[in-house]
Structure 1
Amino acid sequence: MNTGLLLKRLILAVLTIAVLLQVSLSLVESWGKPQIQSRLELYQTNLLLHAAEGQSLVTSGEEDLTAARNALLGDNPFENAQNQYEQVLETAQTTQSKIIAKLEQLSSNKDVATSIGDELAKPQMQIAPIDEVPMTSQQRKQLQKSLSQTEQLIDELNVRLGLLQAQQGKTEVAIQTWNELIEQETLESTAPATTPSAQTAAVLAGLWHDPPRILPDAESKIQRNLDSWFQYRALLQLYQLQQRQDALLSLQAQEQQRAKQALLKLALISAIPGIGGIVGVGLLLFLLGQWLLQGERSLLATNSDMPWDTPWDGETIWQVLILGFFFIGQILLPIFILPIFLVVFQLEPANFTVRMQAFYILMSYVLLAAAGLGVLYLSIKHFFPLPEDWFQIKFRRKGILLGLGGYLVALPLVILVSLINQKLWQGQGGSNPILSLVLEGQDTVAIVIFFSTACIAAPLFEEFMFRGFLLPSLTRYMPVWGAIVTSSLIFAIAHLSLSEVLPLATLGIVLGVVYTRSRNLLAPMLVHSLWNSGTLLSLIILGSGGS
């Protein structure tokens, strides 16, 4: 065997091991992170609360909005909101228990290691005692940080849950919820009510107490520690007790305006998956019916068993996938190149604004795409000219229609899988970090950059790699359907969030079917772009409803 070829394969093997280790660690790490879905549901619940409050503030001439409100909110919006918050609270408490159990396990392991180390450290052995490995220490720090964040979330949820209980006339239950939070902190600290949640709970318990007790700085603590409908409801109670009529009227006028905006936002959020999902189900049934009736002449059967003429072998596929995507994206860029860039320009990511974070993510993705496509080109240039149906992007009507149809079919399928997936993971498993930044960072320039990354750069590069190269290459070794499934799983795993594997694999299968039937990369690129655009649009609308 050629020495150069042997060395190349050895390097690829080492890189593969490093990539598998890094990807596995990233997936395991994502297991302990919360999904963004729970936060999205709470943001949507907050919009529902604003819209529900608007029902009691309807003025003459606005009765026409009542039917729309009833259709979107249901019969018991406040009870539904309470149920939603209780579900998220239960998930957070489960996460808290798991973290505590893991910390106890690490402490137990440390005690065992210490006792073994003491035994080995006897003079006659001349061996240094075994200490806790650095990875365990790092794990403990990360777990303690996660525990602190989870406990803070639980306290915030209990404060809001009490307000929902009070809104429904369950005053005694609400006061008990707030008092338990205050008592819990008193047990853990010598100074009671020091956290924002405990201070807010004390203020709220006083406002709903019989007789009421208005604590000092009650208004400023409510404005500082509460937001959205919860701030409105607490201030409403305060102003009513203080008999501040002007402030009360101003507050209600502001809430009426928020209620109208919330209703519009809820309608927009519901329209895309609602109408699109219904059309998608109809289209999916039509395609299945056509396939059953027409067989080989149906759209689904087009090119379904026709492999690509692949001039390279599995080693080239291996090289492009490991070196051109995973090694560069998971090791070279994040561990070596980008940290050096930050040191050279004396930048600290912790101090980045949302706009800077957006630009940093775009820059990172452009570097990944450029390097990945460079590796792809160098790996296959020896096989030029390629057969006609490789990497084609044709701006034709058929490709556009297949792209739109693929997006509509993907909506009900991915939503259904996501609902099942959420039950399986119970709010854990991590999410794409870009989603959180878009949800919380309502900056116009940042949003434009995020759209450029997610809706232009990602569809172009990822479809080129996973559908344009990987899927057709795999048809050399397996049936077309097998290549679609395999490339979809790799595509899903590449996003490094356990909770997203099933939904993204489902989306990947739709993308693969669209591409194999069209033989035009424009179609899956359009599906991918529309999907990311719809997701980001929903996040922007939800994020803007937090005030």
Structure 2
Amino acid sequence: MKLRALKVDWPILQRWDVPWGWQTATLTMIACGVSFVLTGLVEASVLPYLGFQGGEVSLEEKAEILFAGQFAVTAVVLGVIYGITNSFRPLPDDIFCYDWKNPFSLQNGWLMWAGIGLASALIAIALAGVALTTFSGENPQRETDALIRLLPLIGSSSISTACLVGVTGVLAPILEETVFRGFLMVSLTKWVPTPVSVLISAALFAIAHLTPGEFPQLFLLGAALGFSYAQTRNLLTPITIHSIWNSGVILLLTFLQLQGYDIRELLQAS
């Protein structure tokens, strides 16, 4: 009875009741990857026919194209996931759950645990950075590479900023959390304990960003996202953490840019 009570008190130790097998899980992840690539290729091939040539596109148009591309990818990949899993409906209530109720519940409040997860991620990444610096004698690489590619758009106009926040703070978190936490992590709990599935999905989440130098940071962030989601069984929790993490960086850099700071120099120095 005591062990049973422990499982109730700690949802993070419980597995999801996953209705599909490994074939569906594998097929869905492959389909998501293929859809992501094909959508990008289609977008790249269509843009010239719409009158958007690389050297003739303004910064605002680049930001709008980035937003439209991310919107298309998000819609297509989520369509693939929900299309494949639709045959298993009705699904358990805690799969693909977006529940706005009781945000501050200590047991499973999505906003409460989003705050806890975000704070945990910040502390873990800071400690990891100190440890890596201490043992290697070099500063760990952070999100510099990805951000430098966005630098021309950051702070260039209110439209560019809105598009970047829409991409990084809304569309990307919804897409990535649905794929890596809502589907992959949940699916893995059919074969491995939930904490193990959190770590596996966090590792794949980090690898998928194709930035090896940022793997430690992304892995720790993914772990915080996964454990927070396991506690609440509500996708609003990791989406909120991911959104604040991404959009907070963009808004901070926009503010610094408007204050006259050299953002490129600051990023390379960090």
TM-score interval (norm. to shorter): 0.7 to 0.9
Letter in 2 for 1:508: G
Confirm or deny that 1:414 pairs with 2:128: no
**Structure 2 CA distance for aligned equivalents of residues 516 and 428 of structure 1:** 27
1:519 Cα offset (Å): 0.8
Amino acid aligned to 2:188: L
Map of 1:189 onto structure 2? none
Distance 1:521 1:362 in 2: 22
Q: Counterparts of 2:47 and 2:230 in 1: how far apart (Å)?
A: 42
| 1:492 match | 206
Asked if 1:546 is matched to 2:261, the reply is: yes
Give the distance between the partners of 2:188 and 2:131, measured in 1 at CA.
29
- Distance of aligned partners of 1:523 and 1:342 in 2 relative to their CA distance in 1, 3 Å threshold: same
Question: Is 1:372 equivalent to 2:77 in the alignment?
Answer: yes
Using the size of structure 2 for normalisation, the TM-score is 0.83
Query: Residue type of the partner of 1:536?
Result: I
Aligned-pair identity in percent equals 28
Q: Which residue of 1 aligns with 2:38?
A: 332
The question of 1:464 aligning with 2:178 is answered yes
CA distance in 2, matches of 1:460, 1:427: 26
Q: How does 1:81-160 map to 2 (within 5 A)?
A: none
Question: Partner of 1:382 in structure 2?
Answer: 87
Which one of 61, 64, 69 corresponds to residue 359 of structure 1?
64
Q: Do the aligned partners of residues 478 and 377 (structure 1) sit closer, same or farther apart at CA in structure 2, a change above 3 Å counting?
A: same
Q: Which residue of 2 aligns with 1:349?
A: 54
| CA distance in 1: counterparts of 2:144 and 2:81, whole angstroms | 30
- Cα distance change on mapping 1:408 and 1:430 into 2, 3 Å: closer
Superposed displacement of residue 517, structure 1: 0.7
Verify: 1:535 aligned to 2:252, yes or no: no
What is the alpha-carbon distance in structure 2 between the residues aligned to residue 428 and residue 409 of structure 1?
18
Q: Is the 8 A contact 2:142 2:217 kept in 1?
A: no
Q: Which amino acid aligns with 1:356?
A: E
Give the Å deviation of 1:440: 5.0
CA contact (8 A) 2:12 2:230 kept: yes
Task: Give the ranges of 4+ consecutive aligned residues of structure 1 lying more than 3 Å apart after TM superposition.
Answer: 296-299, 418-430, 433-436, 438-441
Q: Does the Cα contact within 8 Å between 2:155 and 2:255 map onto a contact in 1?
A: no
Report the Cα distance in structure 2 between the residues aligned to 1:511 and 1:356, rounded to whole angstroms.
33
1:449 has 2:154 as partner: no
Secondary structure of 1:304's counterpart equals helix
Equivalent in the alignment of 2:267: none
In 2, Cα distance between equivalents of 1:350 and 1:466 = 36
Matching residue of 2:192: 478
Closer/same/farther in 2, CA of residues 418 and 316 from structure 1, 3 Å limit: farther
Alignment CA distance shift 1:418-1:315 (3 Å): farther
Whole-angstrom CA distance in 2 between matches of 1:428 and 1:506? 12
Q: d(CA) in 2 for partners of 1:413 and 1:339?
A: 38
**Distance (Å, rounded) in 2 between the aligned partners of 1:297 and 1:541:** 46
CA separation of 1:535 and 1:343: change in aligned 2, threshold 3 A:
same
The answer to whether the 8 A contact 1:439-1:542 is kept is: no
**Paired letter, 1:333:** T
**Distance (whole Å) between structure 2 residues aligned to residue 402 and residue 328 of structure 1:** 32
Pair 1:514–1:435, CA change in 2 (3 A): farther
Aligned-pair distance for 1:378? 1.9
Aligned residues of 1:439 and 1:540 also touching (Cα < 8 A): no
Q: Deviations over 1:137-189 (max 9, x none)?
A: xxxxxxxxxxxxxxxxxxxxxxxxxxxxxxxxxxxxxxxxxxxxxxxxxxxxx
**Residues 327 and 522 from structure 1, CA distance in 2 versus in 1: closer, same or farther, beyond 3 angstroms?**
same
C-alpha separation in 2, matches of 1:474 and 1:345: 42
- 1:380 partner letter: T
Task: Name the residue aligned to 2:268.
Answer: none
RMSD: 2.6
Question: Which amino acid is 1:407 matched to?
Answer: L
One-letter code aligned to 1:371: V
Measured in 2, the distance between the counterparts of 1:540 and 1:470 equals 34
Match of 1:522 in 2: 236
3-state DSSP of counterpart to 1:432: helix
Task: Please tell me whether the aligned partners of residues 312 and 383 of structure 1 are also in contact (alpha carbons under 8 angstroms).
Answer: yes
Q: Does 1:304 align with 2:15?
A: no
Q: CA deviation at 1:543?
A: 2.0
Which residue pairs with 1:322 in the alignment? 30
Asked if 2 retains the 8 angstrom alpha-carbon contact of 1:438 and 1:450, the reply is no
Residue ranges of structure 2 left out of the alignment (5+ in a row):
104-108, 263-270
Question: Relative to 1, partners in 2 of residues 1:515 and 1:354: Cα closer, same or farther, differing over 3 Å?
Answer: same
Alpha-carbon distance in 2 for matches of 1:515, 1:466: 11
Q: CA deviation at 1:530?
A: 1.3
1:9-408 equivalences under 5 Å are 302-324=10-32, 326-329=33-36, 331-334=37-40, 336-395=41-100, 396-397=102-103, 398-408=109-119
| C-alpha deviation, 1:505, in angstroms | 0.9
Q: Which residue of the partner structure matches residue 76 of structure 1?
A: none
Where relative contact order (Cα < 8 A, 6+ residues apart) is larger, the structure is 2
Q: CA deviation at 1:418?
A: 4.1
TM-score, structure 1 normalization:
0.42
AA matched with 1:345? L
Structure whose CA Rg is larger: 1
Q: Which residue of 2 aligns with 1:17?
A: none
Contact 2:153 2:161 in 1 (8 A): no
Shift of 1:509: 0.3
- CA deviation after TM superposition for structure 1 residue 452, in Å: 0.9
Deviation string, structure 1 residues 187-243 (Cα, Å, up to 9, x no partner): xxxxxxxxxxxxxxxxxxxxxxxxxxxxxxxxxxxxxxxxxxxxxxxxxxxxxxxxx
Q: Deviations over 1:245-294 (max 9, x none)?
A: xxxxxxxxxxxxxxxxxxxxxxxxxxxxxxxxxxxxxxxxxxxxxxxxxx
Change (3 A) 1:350 1:441: farther
